[in-house]
Amino acid sequence: MSSPVLLDTDVASAMYKGKQLPILGKIAGRSPYLSFVTFGEMTKWAEVRSWAPHNRVALNEWLARVPTLQSSREIASVWGMLSAAGMKRGRPCPHNDTWIAAVALVHQLPVATLNLKDFEDFKVRHGLQLIRP
């Protein structure tokens, strides 16, 4: 079995759209996973942008092929710890990125992201593994 990777929403979106980005080459052959947050964010985009029914069907079919990791008490606890740590340092992180980091840390998965700025603190202070562009 290939090694798993958690996709940040930006990478999941690029993959769904068939974009050719260097980071996709770095995760080729790995087993992609989504967090419940990325699933929600991608669904939100279809709603906000009033996608046509056939485009929503295509998105739902793609989402169904990529396993989604759900929240749990452990993930919620790690999210609280990460959020509190950022607040104490005076550097609160965006909520959705914090949730994605919590999912990755609990499942011991690297995160493939284009959004290095918001995940770097989790890497440096909490050992989050990142796959960068």
Per-residue confidence (pLDDT) for residue 76, from 0 to 100: 98
Query: What pLDDT band is residue 91 in, cutting at 50, 70 and 90?
Result: confident
Q: Supply the pLDDT for residue 107.
A: 98
Q: What is the pLDDT of residues 6-59, one digit of tens each?
A: 999 999 999 999 999 999 999 999 999 999 999 999 999 999 999 999 999 999
The domain ranges of the chain are 4-131
Give me the CATH code for the 4-131 domain, please: 3.40.50.1010
Q: Rounded to whole angstroms, how far apart are CA atoms 37 and 58?
A: 19
Contact present, 113 and 27 (Cβ < 8 Å): no
Alpha-carbon distance of 67 to 84, in angstroms, equals 29
What confidence category does residue 4 fall into, taking pLDDT thresholds of 50, 70 and 90?
very high
Phi/psi at 32 (5° precision): -80, 145
Q: Retrieve residue 131's tokens.
A: 């796959």
Task: Reply yes or no on whether the pLDDT at 1 is more than 60.
Answer: no
Where residue 66 falls among pLDDT bands split at 50, 70, 90? very high
pTM above 0.85, yes or no: yes
Query: What is the per-residue pLDDT for 2?
Result: 86
Average pLDDT over residues 91-107: 95
* Reported confidence tier of residue 109, pLDDT bands at 50, 70, 90: very high
User: Taking a C-beta distance cutoff of 8 angstroms, is the pair 114, 26 a contact?
Assistant: no
Furthest CA-CA distance within the chain: 46
